[in-house]
Structure formats: structure tokens, C-alpha cells
Structure 1
Amino acid sequence: MTSMDDLFEKQDATFEESIRIDRKFEEDEGRAAHRDQLYRHYLDTYHITDASENFLRDFFTRIHGHDEEMRKGANHWLYGYYGSGKSHLLTVLNLLTASADLAEEDREEVWNRLDSDSAYSDLFDTWSSMLDEYRLVPLPINLLKYQSVREQSFSEIILQAVYQARGLSNRLDVAFFEEWYQNQGTWDQRDELTKEVLKDKGVPNADQYSWDDVQQYRTLSDLVLEELVERETGTADGLADIQRQDIGQRMAVEAVESYRQDLEAESEKPVKIVLLVDEVTLFIGGDYQRLSELNALAESIDTIGEGNIQMVATAQSQIEDVQPGLAAKQLDFGILKDRFPHQYHLPSHHVGEIVQRRLLEKTEEGTDWVESEALTARVHPTSTFVYSEVGQNTEPPLNRVKEKEFVQFYPLLPYQPALFLEILFNLRNELADSTKSIFSGTARAILAIVAGLRDRWMRDESKDELSLISLVDFYDLIRYELEDIIANEIEVLEEIEADEDTTGFDLKVAKAVLLLSYVPDSVPQNDANIAVAVMDDLNGQPRTTVRNQVQNSLENLDKYIRPNTAEDGPLLRITDREEREIIEEARKNRKNPDWDEIIAAFDTELWADISPRLNLPTSVPYGGDGDNYPISYNFSIDGQPLDGADEHEGALEATVVIRGVRPDVDSKKVNEGTIYWSVKEDGLEDLRSQLIEWWSFHEATAETETPDTIARDVDDAADRVKSKIASALKDGSYKVESQEPRGLESAVKECINRAYPSFFHPVMLEVDQSYLSELKRLNDDEEYPEWAQKIDVPTPDAEVSTMGTIAKEIRGAVGRTLVAHDNEMGLPALFEKITEETPFYGEVKPAVTAVLWGLCRAGEFRPVAEDGEALSADELLTLSQQMEIKLRTAPSSTSLKEQFIDAGIIDPIQTVDEGIVALEELNESVKRQARTLAETTEVSTETELESEVLVSLVASFSNALSELADGAESRADAIAADDTDWEEIIDHVASDEEWLTGVADRWDSRESYLLQLDGLLRFRELEIDWLSQSFYGALDQLSQQLENESGREWWTQEGWQSFDQSLDARLTAISALEEDWSTQVAETNAKSLATELEGHQWLIPPLQLPEHSVHDGFQSGYLRPLRHFRDTHESIQACISALTNREPGTHDERTLKRALGTVSSTTDWDSLTEDRVDTYREKYETVEQLVGGTRPDEIEGVGVLFGDESGLKGQFERLVKSRKPTIEQIDGGVIIK
């Protein structure tokens, strides 16, 4: 690149941190040299702006007295944001109003140092005539230097300035003494007397001290002043009276006026004092007393000074904006505004202009180099180094970089001085007392900072020659100053730097995040803006790459940098130590998630808030009584129970298994009476990620006192998980055994219907001792209460044939148990035995007791005591006494009719003969249904299934059906025989009928599953190029697994579950087929072409095309191939969709049978290869060029040369005769219009 020495114009790179009106310089070279030094620093470097010209002109006019038409008042408010140059302007005014110094200078030469272009000659005239008429004496006061010492008032500071200007001490107690002592006769001997007093006091080297030392040092003044007072007055007590003054605003202004009058008495011209007070608002800070004092001080200047004292105060804001928080003090800001009637605003973008002119001004050679090299680099600066989503903008703007400005500011970006300024301003507010910031004069600080940045950039040999100064460089330069302001954050960055898991780029990102956090209203901390902040190489990586690196860094820095969940402020924030320890622990948890612990924590912390969002039905109808009954839910997630289950007393229980949440569980087991609620697969990985994220923090904070920031993050993470889980469940699917209900309410109803047997009623769950006591109070002829009737409690005169289902079932269970145990058994043991057979009896023991009470009253059983003594049935109704009661069978009198009634073959009003006929018909129905179903399965093996192993499996089922039919046929003879064992026959018919009903339902729901297996296996006989080896390998494995299951009775419920779970290769094959199909469609873009051809008006059936206008060559060459492709793609798409359905049901049978027809060698599978698809696409594009936008009946003719030549020739001749044609050439043919 060009030499650094040739890039910039020669500049004086020495900059003070801030221009201050009271800055002193060494005066070794004499008074004239000292003034030249002042002029060089402050007049030569100042650039008059419109705003500053307006102020100077107005001020000079008022001093001159030419303000008759102007608003009155001697107090001026000069305000501007950081970088406005107000302190510099005040220093310039100090130099321009120092009549004593200017008397020794050529005014024109002085003015030319300020106005080198002579652009303000009329302003010079006003200033010069003002000096001709008045002697001006400036009193400059820098209020900032009074902030680090004891609290002082405005009045004290002004008095100090006045006394110091008069040659007295700036220590008021000494100055008050001096003012008194000047009127004493020994004033002129004060130096000699000082030495004498100190010598008398035994001070070593007393001859070395003078009165100047007394003015300065309290130790000396304490020794000398008291002695001098005593010598003058005869007593030392008078010193306190001399020094005790009632200091106030009026006294201060009177002192200024007195000083002015003294000067005027010695001057040939009228004298005016110019009181220059710098940084008023910073001095006021949050002190209401100072604000009130400023109001009184300005009033005294108006009333006492009468225009001869002019005060100019600099501030950072308008009067209305000065510490608005003080409004609670009820200060009348309107009065303060009246005290400063003259307000002047200086724009703040002044700093950027000065930075560019004073530090970054290029030589002609340097400008040419930047334009030719930097603007043509790999990373274009004007489009890359701009911030996005900018809120409060700067000038130049943060979101736009002009090439001209880029060249001017290089190696800075044009907006950086203003951005640095904003960051520094907000940093100073981090201090407890922002007025004591090292950046108190921020605009000047920017000059010094940019000078330092430029110097570092010029000396840094490690960077590319086309590098820029970045926000990271800015941080590195002010890093040590930041330690005084944001020490905790700096410690975090040091920890990042020392962390072995972080990179240098991570550290840059952290620095950028930290600084951008102080300008959230301007530059949001999104990854794009952070990338801009860290980039500094015009030959480096593009912003998109850096942006990805930033995203990775933020993930790596999640221990140190976290999203800010507050409603306002930056998007990201730096963590504190306690947070980082928790985050580190959470990170370890995320790397090793324990899903048992995750679900357990989810249960205890989140589930109670999630379940109400699911809108779970609270009741369902049951039976035919028209009433709804409450439900309780027993939830588990992938087999892990949730302890927060609903536990309503007396409620129906719905068991719900939530599936799909845990990645380590993939159970397909289906239990009866259970809802399997699968979460929506879309977004499942995000759900799991969010769940792990929440759990990792929950676990990390379980045994610690959680900081508010982490607690808020944990709460937010919990809310996201709650919302995500609820949404995934609401959009999920349901399965209850073989059914797939379409909604939650339907699923709950189906679950309850299947979970409870026919001999159950929800009221059984409600019955307790109080209900039983109600039965004990009934009279013999009194009607049972409604609850007893609902659970079928038998009446004393009830016959078995008239008993309800519940009573019959309990009668049978108890009777069988008693018979097996010598017809007698104690009640506790009896309940234990019948509960083993029917578990839910253990949950409804009081209800079973009520039914047993009724059965005993009806004579079915007899309660007896331990010694065999007969007991009343009412004895059963006291649950606490059942330990002492036994139950015996009653004498048997069961008839054949009762057997028929018990089996549900006839109604009580029917006869035995009718029962025998009904039994014969039921047996015949069993035989007929078994034969029909066997024939159906045989047809399937003969006409639909091709796989030998599947044919064998279905044939086994067919054989079982045939055996059942043969058994029914042999029972027909037994029914007609004389020695029929009716009990055995009835039991066999009933059990066979129940078995047949079950397997018929299973065949209906599982035939589609078998058809899908056959369709998949058929691919083994085809060689299709775009199907992967993974797919064919899965088919081989599936075939082997089917061979291993050849002996399985898959038609039973238990057999089917084992059969399905053993075929894990089925899902592997489905996934491989899905992936192969998706890959082929994506690579060939076949789907988009098929979509274009769908419903195309030229691809209607051939017979519907106009016979004479659409010729055969065009049809065979274009329309027929496109129609073939469209139809083939549609068939294959439907085939793949059917064969990849993971849970095919009865409604999928037709589509699967069509798919079996598609999986054959007759299907043109190669039509979906890339070459073939490209050929079809070319044909389609030709068709679109020729006839696109027109219907077949709108053209005279279309064809292909030379096959359709004869037909086209005649049509062309007719066209030429009737009108003048135009010919349009297109790719592949012509169009004649």
C-alpha cells in the first residue's frame, strides 16, 4: 500500500482530553509566546459555524449596547450535546474579550487566526469596535474542577475567581483576611512579617517562605494570620470575626461589581466584566440547592450589574431539560428560563467534522489510494459496514455509508466518531456521580481517542494493509479507563480471554456486545450488527460468513452473554459471576440430559400449568341413563408416570400415555382402554431442545438461591416449554387400540368405553359406607334409591333372568369362587379372589357389597358367622365387621332356561324351545361367518398377495377359521342329540362367537397392514436406478423377519402386538423409500413439472381434442409423452404415499390395492430419471411456446413437420386466402397468425 506517511496530511497529533477555559500553559518564553500558544491551541483550531457566529454576533452586539430592539438580560445560556464544541467556543470568547492581552496584539492578525478565510469581516468590525469602546475583563470559571473537592456553592466559586483576579488568595478565609489587612498599615511589609512570625514559631527555613505561600498553604496561614491580627488589634480573637462572612449570591455579584468599579476607576474606558462559567449542568448534577442558587445568582447579575456584568454559562441541554427529576421539588423552571433569556444551541455533529479535518485529512496520493484499493476490495465497505434495524440514528448515519465519506474518514467509518461519542456519554452515566467522569469533555476525548486509534492502526503490522478501525479497537484503546466505570464487565471479558473453550473471535464478539449494550436505542445487538462491529478487514470474509461466526460465538459464550429479558434496554447482557456458575452447571446438564430426571422435573414444576391448557373433558356420558360422569386422568410420558395425576374421588379414570417426547423411547405397545396421545412431529426436535434447556437451568438452580436474572430466564424457558408442549399436544394425534379418534373428546369417550366392562357403572365408584347405611335403613317393601338401581342391586323377589348385568356378573364370579372352595368362604378372602379375576372390584368394594346384599336377599347366597350361625343380609352392610362374616352358596336350582338367559341367548320372557332354536341359529352364524372370513382371506392370498411368507401367514389364519367352522358344524349334531351337555355346548358357542367377532375386527383393521408389507416386498423384484441400496437392504431384512414370524398367531391381540414389534425393518424400509423418493424428486425437479401439467388444457383425453386441428404428429410427439409423464408421476406419487404410511388403517385399503398394481415392471419407473424429466420439460416448454394461453378449440391447426405436413398445408392455404398472415419464429418452430 502507499506509505503511512503519504496517506495523511501532516497533523499535530497532540490532543488534550478536553478543552477547558482555565487551561494553563508554561510561560517560560514570556507573555507574548504564551499568548501565541493559547491562540494556536484555541483560535487556530476553532471553526466558526452558523450557530457559533450567531452567538458571537449577538453577544458582541449586547456588549456594545446596540440591543435596543433585542430582549433584555445579561445572562446567556450556551448549550449543546457532547461534541458541540461549547467549551471550545467559551475559551475562544475568553481570548476575544481579554482587552489587556489584545491591547498588545494586532487585532486583525488575531482575528485572522480565527477567521483565516475572512468570511466574517462584518463580525470582526463589530468585535473591534466593541474593544474600541470598552475595556473587557473575562472571569473564566471551570466548574468541573470543583466537583472532586468539598461541596462549594456558585457564590463561593465566583468569589474565589474575583479575589484571585484581584491578586488575593483563592482561599476565601485568607482572601477575607487580605481584604481587611489591605487597610492596615503593615500590608506592604507582609512578606517580611511572614518570615518573622514563622521564625518565632520555630518553623525551619522560615526565610524561604513568602506571602504567596501563606495564600496557598493552610498550615502556614493558621500560624501567620492569627499572629498578625493580634499585632494589629492586640487580640487574636478578631480573626474569626474577619473570616466569618455571610456568603450568598448577592455578596458574590457585589464583589464582581466592586472589582469592575475598581478597574474602571483606573481605566480610560468603561469596564465590563464577562463572567464565563463552563459546564453549569454537570456542576448542578442532582443538587436542587445549586439549581436554586443559579436562579438567584442570575437575578443578582441583572439587578446589580445593570448590563456591566455579562454571564455566559455552558450547559449540555436546554433549560427546560435541566435535571427534570428535580420537578418534585416544585422548582419553577419558568423563572430560571426568564433569568437566562438568551439561549444558543450548538449542533453536536461538530465532533465528526473536526475529527475528519484534524486527524484523517488525506493527501492527494492517499485519497487516490483509498479510492483505487479500499473501494475495490473484496469486502465492499459501503454495503457491508452498515448497521441494520437502526433506531436513534447519528450523523453521518449508522445504516448508510457514502463512498465519498468513506474515503474522507478512512481508516475509520464515517459514523464511528458519533457512535463513540454516544457510547462514552452513556458510559459516564454508569458512575454514581456522572459529573466526575473521565469523559467529562467527551468531544475532546473523541479527538484524543481517534488520534490514539489512528496511531495504533498506523503502527500495527499484524493487520492486513486494507484494514479498518473497528469497535473492538475502540474498546482496546479505552479498556483501562473502562475499569473505573464498569469493572465487573471488564472482569468478565478477562475471564472470557482466559477461558480455554473460547477463541479470540469470541473475545471480539464479547467486546462488541459490551459496547453496543450502551447504545441499544441506536444499534440493536443482533448478529448482523455484531458482525459489523468486529469486522476490520476489507480483504477478509464476507459479512454473511462473519455473521454465522458471530452466531456460533454467541452460542459458545452463553455462559457469559445472555439474552436480556427486560422490557427495554439491550438485547444481550453480560452475566455476573453467580450467573456464570449456574450457566456452567446448566451447560454440563445440557450435554448429558437425564430424561428420567427431565420428565420428573417436568411433572413437579410444569405439568400442573400445562394440563389446564389442554381443555381436557371433565365428564363423559356413560351407559344409557343420559347422565354425565366426572373423569380423572392418569398421565404418563413415554411410560414414565406423572405424579401430578388428577385424583378425583368417584371419577372414571382415563389412562393417557403421551408419546414422542422422549427421544430414547420408541414403544409401539398398545394396551386396552388407554389413550395414546402422540405429539406433533413437526417441531419435535425444537420442543425437546427447549425442554432440555429449561431442565438444565432448573437442575442447576435447584439447590441455590437463584439470581433474579436467571430466575427470569428459567421462568421464560418454562413458559416456552408449557406453550410448546400444549401446542404440540393440541396438534397431535390420538389412538385407542385400533381406533384413531379425530378429537380429544372422542378419544376420551372411546377410552372410557373400552377401559370399563359392560358389568360396570360409574356410580359404583361413588358408593361408600354412607350409601350402605342408607340401604340398611330401607323397609322391605320400600323402593331402592336411584344409585342402587343403577348398579343393579337385586330386589328380594328377583329371578336370575331378571337381574341386571352387574348383578349377574357378580353372582357368577362369587358363585364360581364359592364352588371352588367347598361352597363357603370368608368375605375378605372372597373379595381377594374375585378381585384377582376382576381387578376393578377392589376399587368398588362397597358397591360390590351392596350387590351381594341384594343377592343374599334374593336367596342366591347366605351370610353366616364364623361358627356357622345364619346372619341377616344387613350384616354385610357394615364394612368394618366383614372380617367376621362368611358366605355360603344357596341350594342350586339353575334351569336350562336360566343358562340361556345367563348366556344372553334369550330374554326372560322366551321359552326353552326358543332358546334351543336361538342356540342353533347362533352356532350356524358362527360357522357361516367363519367360512366367509376364511374364503375372504383365501381370495386375498390368491389374487392380491404375492409374497410367499405373507401368503403363508394369511393361510394359517384361514386354517384357524376353517377349524372353528368345522367345530361349529360338529356341534350342530350335538345340539340335536338326546344326551346333550347343554352347559358345555352353550359355553363353546358363546366363546367361539366372541373369538370370531374379535378376529373379524382385527382382520378388517390389519388387512391394510399386510397389503402394505406385500407392496414393499414387491420392490425386491424390480431394479429401479434411483432406489438406494439402503432400501433394498431393509427389504431383505424385513423378508427375513417375516420368515421368523411364520408360526405366530398374529390374528390374536397379543399375537399381533408381538408380530408388529418384531418387524422393525418395516419402518426402516419406509424411511429409506421416503428419502429416496424425496431425493429423486428434488434432483429432477419432477414435482414442479407435474404440477405445471396438472389440469393442463391441452392434456385432456385424446378423444376430447379437436379432430382436425390437433394433428397426430403433435399428439404423439408432445401431448402423449407429457400425458404419460403426468399420469405416471401421479401413480408413483400415490404409490409411495400409500406404502410409506406408518399406520395404515381400514380406510387405506383401496389406495394400497392400487399401489400393489403400480409396483410392477409395467410401470415406467425410468420416466422419473433426470434425463427423461429434462426431455419432458423441453417438450412442455415447446408446447407452451406454441399454444400456451390458448385452448385447443381456438386454433386452426397445430402439427409437426413433416409428419403432419399434408394436414397443415391445407389449413395454411385457407388461412392465406382469407387474411394476411404474420409469422413469429420461436425456439423449436413458428407461429402463423
Structure 2
Amino acid sequence: MTTALRSIFAKPVDRPIDGVIKADDEASLRIELDEYVITDEIGKRLETFLDAYNNYDTANGVWISGFFGSGKSHLLKMLALLMENREVDGARSFDIFEEKLTDQPMLLGALRKAVSVPSKSILFNIDQKADVISKTDVDALLSVFQKVFDEACGYYGKLPHIAQFERDLDDRGQLATFKDAYAAAADKPWERGREQAALERKNIATAFAEVTGGDPTDAGDILGQYRADTRVSIEDFAVKVKAWIDKQGPKFRLNFFVDEVGQYIAENVKLMTNLQTIAESLNTKCKGQAWVIVTSQQDMEAIIGDGKTFQSQDFSKIMGRFGVKMPLNSADVAEVIQRRLLSKTEEGQVRLGNLHDREENNLKTLFDFTDGSIKLKNFDGRTNFVSSYPFPPYQYMLFQMAITSLSQHNAFEGKHSSVGERSMLGVFQEVAKKMADQPVGGLATFDLMFEGIRTALKSAVQQSIQIAEKEIQDIDPFAIQVLKALFLVKYVKEFKPTVRNISVLLLSEFDTDQVKQRRKIEEALSFLERNTLIQRNGEVYEFLTNEEKDVEAEIKALNVDPSELSKEMETLAFDTILRHRKIKHLATGNEYSFSRKLDDHLLGREHELSINLISPFSDDVASPDVNPGAKLAKFPV
């Protein structure tokens, strides 16, 4: 009796796992806390952050970087919950993490010390909070910070002048009284009334006059006066933050956790410098009591652009302010996927251990990429085999490279290179769910990763695959697998999609007949090439985008005038290959002119000597004694 893959996993592989963590999503906080995996590398990053946080010197900025789906947002969210030690479903965040760190006493001690400092976390995705603020506004970034700070204080963040009106009343101890007076006058709560401030002038004036003891007529346009007088500046913002912190008590901290800030500022030098200035001003005014922790794509240079040197310089200055760096890499993601999704039962570990022992001698060659391709990780011992199965280890790095390069070529819907509906964890889960009912012993092929990002890809990018699925799925389904694999690695320059390497990508069984597999792939490649879905360049095959496919089809359909072809061949032959017009006799030093011939056709004047070059278009090429790739010269006697 065969054993299904789903039975060897410690947790149901099809259980709900939110592949993309959102800063403003509080529906599954407990699950996110419970399932967060602290890898060895993340543990080291946390130690660096906590050391700076607990022993403040000069830096108050933390920069979390990583590629698409690497877990930046998840880490940021966990830090926000931990620093505030927020209670989630009856348990404190620190208590949940304490169970994860029983074998790391130093890290646990540092975290306990950080949590003991009273603090408030303001966690937000900057693009979401900036929905009504234009990036072209020079104060766009500051406006977002001011907005979330006002909201955290309980004020109306959408309109800064109303927030300032509330703050002034609060400072005078009159805000609660004003709210009661307004509710009595307007028969609605102030929280609703302030959203309709333009229509509520009379009720606002009545309530304000009652609280301050003034004349309602004089207060008729009180919010209009605030609108005219309210100005936003970075220094004023820092002063307000400091004043609020002081009200909370000694040593209190206010920490801003900002998701996806790198993409938001990348295209605007002013926004870059504003971020730096905000962090510096908070540091100057608050002396380590206000921190700015942000996430960004790992390859900021790719987002900024190679030609924008001045922006790169500004970005370098920003990085100087964010002294604590927390980069996340593919090793972190692989460990998270293995521990959170692919952990095995004891019986499963034994079964896979036996499978490893049986296949151990073949593993080194089965997943070895050749033909000058990048060196990717292979199975490394029994433990690694059990933890990674059914995914060959090369897939973690190669898939990361694939989605990063696709992002750089604008393949995903949405803004910048981080946008997509799937993280790597989500994609690997989709593949595992698809294989759940297959017998133990099979392997995940690389083309299956395509389904995990399909919904995040622009329709134009995947149109070729969609058409191919409709037209040739029934004819050659394996060719579709090859096509999807080639799509994923299209822009990965370090990977060479030769027949051998494609065979590795599509290896579904350890005991696959390699000769039969190679023949099957060659037939699929030939079929795809005939249908102008891929192109061949030497031994390498490449997926064709819509634009490239159109060009390739036009090239194939183009009728070339023989005279134009002859003229181009003549230029290539006698202006590039044989540029000299005379032959020099070395013994005597005499030079002799020669007739130039191409495929037996005379070009120019005739001389006693002649050189005849045979091109691939010549009739002589078809004769068995002529090598088409050789240069052939005929000298008359």
C-alpha cells in the first residue's frame, strides 16, 4: 500500500497559512505569533537590533531588507508586537516568543530587557496610509508620519488642522468636554461629526463656545482658522512626538514600524532626504525614545535605477542614519519553509531517511547543473534531505532569483518589485498541496512554482502560456511543463537552460530513465520552437515574450530579396572577413590583386588570382565533400 505525501507532514499541509503578511491585518495575529520561526540568521539579526535598542548610543533607525516574499513584513510585525508586548488572545507577545527561545538564553534575556521598557508601536504600510497624499508633494512622507501619529494619539489623522484643533483642546484638558457638548448640539458623536466638518460649522462653533466660554458667532469659522494656520514641518512633528512621549512617563518609547518604505521613496530624492531628516529630528529631540524601523527591497539600486547616480548617493546617506541593518536571505526563507510547512512526523522522518540512504549515491549527480550554469545547492546529508523533501534544495535559491528577475522586468501586477499575491512560503505551500495525494518518493518539479505566482503576473506576460495551455495541452502536456520552467528562468542570467539543466528542473522521480527523459525534453523543445514559443541560441533555450514572439514570427515570415542578401553577404565577406584587397608574397614582398568571388559569383574586377568564399547559401554546400561551416577558397591554376 502506497503512502500519500500528506501523511508524512507533522501539520496539515493544506491548513490556512497567510502567505503575505499585512501590516494592518489583525485578524490572525495569534497564528502569526505562534507560527513565526526564528531561524539562526534571524536570531543573529535580532541580537544586533536588541543590542542597539537596549543600549542606545546614536542610531535610532533600523533597516530590514530582503527580496520578494522573504518575510520582511512578518518580522516587522513581530517586532512591533513584541516591543509593545501587546496582548493577543489572552497572551502577551513576549510569553509566546519566550517558548521559542528556550535554547537561546542570551537572546531571550535581551528581548526581556527590551520588552520591560514601556512603549507604543505604530505599525503601518506607507503606501496604504498615503492613499490620499501625492508623492509629488514635497511633504508627502512627513504627512504620512503625521497622519499615523495623530491617529495613534486619538486625533483625526486625515485632516491635520482638525487633529491640531483636537490636540490644542486636549492640552487644555477640554477635549472630552468639547465632545460631550458637540454630541448634545449635533445629536451625533464627534468622531462622526469631524468627518463632515464643513457641514457642521454651527454645531462645532456652539460646542467650542460652550467649552471656552466665548461667543458662538466668534467661533463660527474656528476650523477655517486652524486650516489657514496649520503648517507641517519635520521639526514641529518631532517636537509633538517628544511632548506626547513625555506625557506617557519616563523612559517611554514611541516606535514607528514602516512597511515598504524603500519602494515609496526610491523614485523621489526629496522623499529620500525627508526620511533621513525625520529619523534625525526624532533622534535629536527624543534622544532614543523614538525609533524608526522600516522594510525595503534588498536590491534598492535596481529600483532606483542605474542611471540615477545622484539618487544612489542620497540613498547611501539615508543608510548612514539607519545604523542597524537586518538583511534577510534565501537561507532564512528555506529554513522557515522547512520548519513551518515541511516538518515531518517521526514515521515520516524514518521513511524519508530510508529513501535518502537508498538514493544517496545518485543525489550528487541528479541535481548537478552543468554547461556553465550557476552552482546551486544540492541535498546535504540525511537531515537536510528529510527537512527539505519533496523540494530539491536548489529550488529555494533559483525561485528567489526567478521572482526577483521577473520583478525587475516589470512582470508583476502592482507597484515596484515587491508586489505579488504570494510569498515564497505561499508558493511552496501551493505546490505541496498539489502533491499531497501523490505517493512518497516523488519530487516537486520546478514548473509547479509557476502556479504559485500566476495570479500575481500581468496578463500580457503570461499570455503565451495561457494560449499554449488552450491549444497544445491535449497534444503535448509535457511541453507546457517545459514552457513554464523556461518562463521562470527567462531572466536569470546565471542559469543556462540547456537540455541537461531543463532535465534537472523537471525531474519528478529519483529513478527516472535519464536517456528517455532527455529525449522527451528534446521533443518538447522542438515542438515549442516550431510553434514560436521559445527560441534556441546554441545549446540554450529561451522563453519568448509576446514582443519577442512577434519579432521571431516576423523574421520567419520575412521574404528577403536575393540581391539584398547577396549585398549583405558581400559586405560581411570582403569588408569584415577579408578586408585586404591584395595578397602579399612573403618571399619576394610582391603584392598581387585578386578577384573577389562569393558562391562563384564575381564581385568587381577580375584578376589572375581569385578567392572564392562559399557561404551556407551556396549550392556547393549540399555536396558531401564540402563542410558548410568551413571557409573554402578556390585558386585557379
TM-score normalised by L of structure 2: 0.80
1:499–1:606 CA distance, 2 compared to 1 (3 A) = farther
Which of 461, 464, 470 is equivalent to 1:492? 464
Deviation at residue 458 of structure 1 after TM alignment: 1.4
Which position in structure 2 is the counterpart of 1:169? 156
**Aligned pairs for 1:660-1059 within 5 A:** 681=624, 684=627, 687=628, 724=629, 727-730=630-633, 734=634, 744=635, 747=636, 750=637
What is the deviation of 1:545?
A: 3.1
CA change 1:646–1:256 in 2 (3 A) is: same
2:125 to 142, 152, 155: 142
AA in 2 matched with 1:455: K
CA contact (8 A) 1:75 1:310 kept: yes
Give the 3 Å change call, closer, same or farther, for CA 138–469 of structure 1 in structure 2.
Answer: same
Partner secondary structure for residue 325 of structure 2: strand
Partner AA of 1:549 in structure 2 = K
Whole-Å separation in 2 of the counterparts to 1:503 and 1:440: 33
Structure 1 residue 512 corresponds to structure 2 residue 485? yes
Q: Give the superposition deviation at 1:261.
A: 1.9
Identify which range, 54-63 or 554-563, moves more after superposition: 54-63
**Mapped partners of 1:459, 1:437: distance in 2:** 37
Check the 8 A contact 2:460/2:546 in 1, yes or no: no
One-letter amino acid of the counterpart of residue 248, structure 1 = S
Q: Distance in 2 between matches of 1:280 and 1:548?
A: 49
Letter of the 1:170 counterpart: G
CA change 1:363–1:632 in 2 (3 A) is closer
Q: In 2, are the aligned partners of 1:370 and 1:407 still within 8 Å (CA)?
A: yes
Q: CA contact under 8 A between 2:598 and 2:615: conserved in structure 1?
A: no
- Partner residue, 1:977: none
Q: Which whole-Å deviations, capped at 9, do the CAs of 1:45-81 have from their partners, x for residues lacking one? A: 23434554455455555555x55xxx43333334445
Q: For residues 594 and 60 of structure 2, what CA distance do their matches in structure 1 show?
A: 86
Taking a change above 3 Å as real, the CA distance of residues 570 and 584 of structure 1, as seen in their structure-2 partners, is closer
One-letter amino acid matched to 1:606: M
- Maintained 8 Å contact 1:160/1:170: yes
Matches within 5 A, 1:127-138: 127-129=111-113, 132=116, 134-138=117-121
Which of 336, 339, 343 is the matching residue for 1:354? 336
- RMSD between aligned alpha carbons? 4.4
Aligned twin of 1:212? 191
* Residue 98 of structure 1 pairs with residue 84 of structure 2: yes
Deviates more, 1:555-564 or 1:570-579: 570-579
2:425 is matched with: 447
String of CA shifts for 1:1113-1157, please: whole Å, max 9, x gaps: xxxxxxxxxxxxxxxxxxxxxxxxxxxxxxxxxxxxxxxxxxxxx
SS in 2 for 1:436: coil
Secondary structure of 2:432's aligned partner: helix
Quote the Cα distance in structure 1 between the aligned partners of 2:603 and 2:436.
73
Give the corresponding residue for 1:302. 283
For residue 518 of structure 2, what is the aligned residue in structure 1?
547
8 Å contact 1:83–1:348 — kept in the other structure? Answer: no
User: One-letter code of the match for 1:243?
Assistant: R
Amino acid at match of 1:7: I
1:45 aligns with 2:24: no
Note the alpha carbon deviations across 1:1175-1213, whole angstroms, 9 max, x for none.
Answer: xxxxxxxxxxxxxxxxxxxxxxxxxxxxxxxxxxxxxxx
**1:185 & 1:500 partners in 2: Cα distance?**
73
Structure 1 residues 560 and 237, CA, compared in 2 at 3 Å: closer, same or farther?
A: same
Q: Is 1:423 matched with 2:402?
A: yes
Cα 1:517–1:194 shift into 2, 3 Å: farther
Partner of 1:258: 243
* Structure 1 unaligned regions, length at least 5: 26-36, 198-206, 590-596, 621-626, 667-677, 688-723, 735-743, 751-1233
The whole-number CA distance in structure 2 between the counterparts of 1:615 and 1:438 is 49
Deviations 1:823-860 (A, max 9, x none): xxxxxxxxxxxxxxxxxxxxxxxxxxxxxxxxxxxxxx
Instruction: Give the counterpart of 2:385 among 406, 414, 417.
Output: 406
What does 1:193-212 align with in structure 2 at a 5 Å threshold? 193=182, 197=186, 210-212=189-191
Which of 561, 566, 569 matches 1:606? 569
Quick check: 1:86–1:314 contact (8 Å CA) kept in 2? yes
The aligned counterpart of 1:154 is 141
Q: Tell which has more relative contact order, 1 or 2 (C-alpha 8 A, sep 6+).
A: 2
The match for 2:436 is 458
- Of residues 435, 454, 467, the one that matches 2:442 is 467
Which of residues 535, 550, 553 in structure 2 aligns to 1:578? Answer: 550
Q: Which segments of 5 or more consecutive residues in structure 2 lack a partner in the other structure?
A: 209-215, 585-589
Question: In the superposition, relative to structure 1, how do residues 448 and 195 fare at CA in structure 2: closer, same or farther (>3 Å)?
Answer: farther
Distance across 2 between alignment mates of 1:311 and 1:616:
69
TM-superposed CA distance for 1:190, in Å, is 3.8
The structure-2 alpha-carbon separation of the partners of 1:75 and 1:105, relative to structure 1 and needing over 3 Å to count, comes to: same
Residue pair 1:147, 1:283 contacting (<8 A) in 2 also: no
Q: Distance in 2 between matches of 1:662 and 1:79?
A: 55
Which of 99, 113, 120 pairs up with 2:104? Answer: 120
* Whole-angstrom CA distance in 2 between matches of 1:630 and 1:55: 75
Identity of aligned residues (%): 20
Q: What CA deviation, in whole Å up to 9, does each residue of 1:510-540 have, x standing for no partner?
A: 111111113222x212221122223323454
Provide Cα deviations, 1:565-590, integer angstroms capped at 9, x if missing partner.
9xxx996543535325325536xx9x
Secondary structure (helix, strand or coil) at the match of 1:729 reads coil
Distance 1:385 1:123, change over 3 A: closer
Matches within 5 A, 1:621-632: none
Structure 1 residues 246 and 610: CA distance shift in structure 2, 3 A: same
Larger helix proportion of the pair: 1
Q: Which whole-Å CA distance do the structure 2 matches of 1:107 and 1:656 have between them?
A: 85
CA contact (8 A) 1:472 1:533 kept: yes
Per the TM alignment, residue 181 of structure 1 is displaced from its structure 2 partner at its CA by 5.4
Secondary structure of the residue aligned to 2:462 is helix
Partner of 1:312: 293
Change over 3 Å in CA distance of 1:683–1:94 after alignment to 2 = farther
Partner of 2:452: 477
Paired amino acid for 1:473: L
Tell me the alpha carbon deviations over residues 179-198 of structure 1, each in whole angstroms, 9 at most, x when there is no partner: 3555696854647746965x
Conserved 8 A contact 1:156-1:252: no
Please identify the structure whose Cα radius of gyration is greater: 1
For 2:273, what is the secondary structure of its paired residue?
helix
Aligned length: 609
The change in CA–CA distance for 1:404 and 1:680 in structure 2 (over 3 A counts) is farther
1:1143-1175 Cα distance to aligned partner (Å, 9 max, x none): xxxxxxxxxxxxxxxxxxxxxxxxxxxxxxxxx
1:407 is paired with a residue whose SS is helix
Aligned equivalents of 1:167 and 1:72: distance in 2? 30
Query: Can you list the C-alpha shifts for 1:427-461, whole angstroms capped at 9, x where unaligned?
Result: 2223399972585489x71111111111111146x
1:1009 paired residue number: none
Distance 1:238 1:357, change over 3 A: same
Match of 1:845? none
Residue type of the alignment partner of 1:222: A
Provide, for residues 685-739 of structure 1, a one-character-per-residue CA deviation record: whole Å limited to 9, x for no partner.
xx3xxxxxxxxxxxxxxxxxxxxxxxxxxxxxxxxxxxx4xx4323xxx5xxxxx
- Residues 91-146 of structure 1, C-alpha deviation per residue, up to 9 Å, x if partnerless? 232222225749x867984453342xx223344445445555x4222222332434
Candidates 549, 553, 557, aligned match of 2:528? 557
Residue number in structure 1 paired with 2:213: none
Once residues 137 and 660 of structure 1 are traced to their aligned partners in structure 2, the CA distance between those partners, rounded to angstroms, is 77
Q: Give the aligned partner of residue 10 of structure 1.
A: 11
Relative to structure 1, the CA distance from residue 467 to residue 156 in structure 2 (aligned partners, 3 Å threshold; closer, same or farther) is same
- What CA deviation, in whole Å up to 9, does each residue of 1:128-182 have, x standing for no partner? 45555x4222222332434665435332222222211222223134423433555
* Separation (CA, whole Å) in 2 of partners of 1:210 and 1:515: 55
Tell me, yes or no, if the aligned pair for 2:534 and 2:541 is still in contact at 8 Å: no
Which amino acid is 2:570 matched to? Answer: W
Name 1:592's counterpart in structure 2: none
- 1:561 alignment partner AA: I
Question: Per-residue deviation at 1:350?
Answer: 0.9
Contact map agreement 1:6 1:365 (CA 8 A) in 2: no
